[in-house]
Structure 1
Amino acid sequence: MLEQQSLLNKIKKLTVIGATVASCWLTQTTRILALPQEVILEKLKPIPVFTIADSQGAPLIASTEDNNRVAGVFISEKDANSFVERLKQDNPDLGKQVQVVPVSLAEVYQLSEKNSQQQDGVQFAYVPSSQQIEQAQQLNNQYQGGVPLFVAKAGEDQGYLTIKQNDQEVIPFFFEKQQVQQLVENFKKAQPDLANSVQIEVVILEGMLDAMKQGDDEMLTRIVLWPSKESLEFLRSNTPQ
């Protein structure tokens, strides 16, 4: 099996912020139970991620010193393709047998939950975009790894900026800083008196998934994960008209 210890560094058990306000307009939250799995899957389904698989479609597994089995899940298709190209150079025999396979983040999450109940189940290590790692480090020097998500806050009590989707106010968490920056610019034009209060915060996807499963805040029902520009282009080019 391929030894890829660096993948283990991508597994983070960080918690997402404990919210006291739910929206940009600083409304009080209502405490509820954690999200049901079907609701979590519905939120994750639109996000494409990319695995490395062999000719039979089985994921490439890395073995660890403590006998854990780990498969990498790339947020960026470009990063996944680059990994395969490096593998072809470093290990041609293995490299020619593998390919990049797109899957839904919901599929990975569901399989991860199933495997967590098995003693020898495969663990999944999310591999963030290298470009977004740099953006996260610039925003928060305490960021130490994991897949960064970017969310904007504003106002005296730092409520989350919302957008309207299907006639509902939702809180977008973006996979790219550039996307949240555009939301911020639009907000500043609409609410110039609050422009100086806007902040962009970094949270971790792995922590977000834990929060959805274990949290007790109404904010969780309103969170929407927003695909990166690269992912949106992938969806457009691979979705039948």
Structure 2
Amino acid sequence: MFKPFINTLALSTIAIATPLIIPIIAPAHALTEAQVLERLNGIPVFTITDDKGAPLLGSAPQKGSEKPPQVLLFFLNPDDAQATLTQIQKTNPAVGSKARIVIRSMNDAYEVIKKNQDKKDIAFQIVPAKASIESARTILTSQGKPADKLPNVPVFFAIGGKDKEQGLLTLEQNGKQLVPFFFDQKDLQSLIDRAKQQQPDVANATKIQVTSLFQVLDSMVATKDNKPNPDTERFTFVPSRNAFEYVVKNQPATTPAPATKK
């Protein structure tokens, strides 16, 4: 089972072709955890390391006298990573002068966390963009749902149509219909706006929904009795345009994987 703050980047992107809104009816095969994690290769995360590539760890406050664990943060928004780096440079110039932002895939981040999950003095956190949290809160509030039940890492998808014809918004890529989950609500809205040019009646009835990344990942993995989850083979993830553009501009040819300090 995928969990929000334990664990869980090669940049590949989904080519946004013709957006359609069609019912999801075809069954799919259950996926293994490894196959699911491969879908996260195209999602960049940003972490802060020293000049040797070792991640800089912060402290997480805890109640009581227990020693706070160190925290390794994986940011989904490069601006948040930059703000944290700037703060480090101000408060600790000796460390900050050698610190840098490193781009990883979320899959790589998951592997790093998985290898270190037995270390009780280190915690891991994926930090969503503030704008995504606000978008998720707005959607939940508009649906009459408690805003304090925000997903740890929100992803956005769209449904459209009426009654039994209602389906998920899909994208066509290489002849395949994919169901996209966006990390930025504004990117999904832009896609819907484009869909209105071809399917105005359907697109106008489309509504953006929000869910937890980890719930989506769980739904894609084979169940204990190995029964397939319908259509999860077509699930794909779309990074925010902001993150994608940062990677295109800043990613070096090769980047060493981060390693936690002993």
Mark yes or no: TM-score above 0.5: yes
> Which among 174, 188, 191 is matched to residue 182 of structure 2?
174
| Separation (CA, whole Å) in 2 of partners of 1:57 and 1:27 | 44
What is the Cα-based RMSD across aligned positions, in Å? 2.8
**Residues 75-101 of structure 1, C-alpha deviations (whole Å, 9 max, x = no match):** 111210111111222333433342211
| Separation (CA, whole Å) in 2 of partners of 1:218 and 1:12 | 27
Which residue does 1:75 correspond to in 2?
Answer: 76
| Separation (CA, whole Å) in 1 of partners of 2:237 and 2:121 | 27
Matched pairs, number: 220
The structural deviation recorded for 1:203 is 1.6
Say if 1:212 and 1:195 are closer, same or farther in 2 by CA, change over 3 A.
closer
Q: How does 1:1-241 map to 2 (within 5 A)?
A: 11=5, 24-30=21-27, 32-33=29-30, 35-64=31-60, 65=62, 68-116=69-117, 118-120=118-120, 122-141=122-141, 142=147, 143-156=149-162, 157=164, 158-213=166-221, 216-237=228-249, 238=251
> What is the percentage of aligned positions where both structures have the same residue?
30
Q: Is the 8 A contact 2:47 2:75 kept in 1?
A: yes
| Separation (CA, whole Å) in 2 of partners of 1:208 and 1:94 | 38
Q: Secondary structure at the match of 1:60?
A: coil
Q: Secondary structure at the match of 1:231?
A: helix
| Counterpart amino acid of residue 182 in structure 1 | S
Q: Secondary structure at the match of 1:132?
A: helix
Say if 1:199 and 1:86 are closer, same or farther in 2 by CA, change over 3 A.
same
| Separation (CA, whole Å) in 1 of partners of 2:217 and 2:39 | 10
| Separation (CA, whole Å) in 2 of partners of 1:95 and 1:79 | 16
Which residue does 2:14 correspond to in 1?
Answer: none
| Separation (CA, whole Å) in 2 of partners of 1:114 and 1:218 | 31
The structural deviation recorded for 1:182 is 1.9
| Separation (CA, whole Å) in 2 of partners of 1:87 and 1:119 | 25
| Separation (CA, whole Å) in 1 of partners of 2:40 and 2:183 | 13
Say if 1:101 and 1:174 are closer, same or farther in 2 by CA, change over 3 A.
same
| Separation (CA, whole Å) in 1 of partners of 2:72 and 2:214 | 15
Q: Is the 8 A contact 2:136 2:150 kept in 1?
A: no
The structural deviation recorded for 1:103 is 0.8
| Counterpart amino acid of residue 28 in structure 1 | I
Gaps of 5+ in 1: 1-9, 14-22
**Residues 42-62 of structure 1, C-alpha deviations (whole Å, 9 max, x = no match):** 211122110011222122223
Q: Is the 8 A contact 1:126 1:147 kept in 2?
A: yes
Q: Secondary structure at the match of 2:39?
A: helix
TM-score when normalising by structure 1:
0.78
| Counterpart amino acid of residue 89 in structure 2 | K
**Residues 120-167 of structure 1, C-alpha deviations (whole Å, 9 max, x = no match):** 384421111122222222222335252221111111243110011121
| Separation (CA, whole Å) in 2 of partners of 1:221 and 1:138 | 29
Q: Secondary structure at the match of 1:88?
A: helix
